[in-house]
Amino acid sequence: MIAETPKPPYYAVIFTSVRTPEDESRYAKMANKMEKLARQQNGFLGIESVRNDLGITVSYWKDLGSIRNWKTQADHLFAQKMGREKWYKCYKTRIALVERDYNFES
């Protein structure tokens, strides 16, 4: 589902990853928990996520302070640690300012 975001400017955190073959059920449980938790954070605007061999999750935020607070949230810090130790072969995080957006619907 495409996230409903406000009129720009706002920020996008783009998390691209390659998984290890580690326990899928524990990963899925943690991913669901993190999405629910992110939705409760001040400044959270929406999320979009897909996964095949490569996973891409884009979360949208009001400002850099909101992103910084999410990055240092205790449960999220634990999930990041588990990701580095068990679930990801590699990942990259990018933070971008969205200056313009537009859409199409049929």
Residues 46-78 pLDDT 10s: 999 999 999 999 999 999 999 999 999 999 999
What mean pLDDT do residues 8-37 have? 93
Residue with tokens 């580095």: 84
| Confidence (pLDDT) at 25 | 85
The percentage of the chain sitting over the pLDDT mark of 70, rounded to a whole number, equals: 100
Among the four given CATH numbers 3.40.1190.20, 3.60.130.10, 3.30.70.360, 3.30.70.100, the one describing domain 10-98? 3.30.70.100
Question: Which SS3 state, helix, strand or coil, does residue 52 take?
Answer: coil
50-78 in b/e burial notation, b at 16+ Cβ within 10 A? eeeeebebbbbbbeeebbebbeebeebee
Nearest to 40 by CA among 12, 70, 14: 70
| Confidence (pLDDT) at 23 | 77
Domain ranges of the chain: 10-98
pTM of this prediction?
0.93
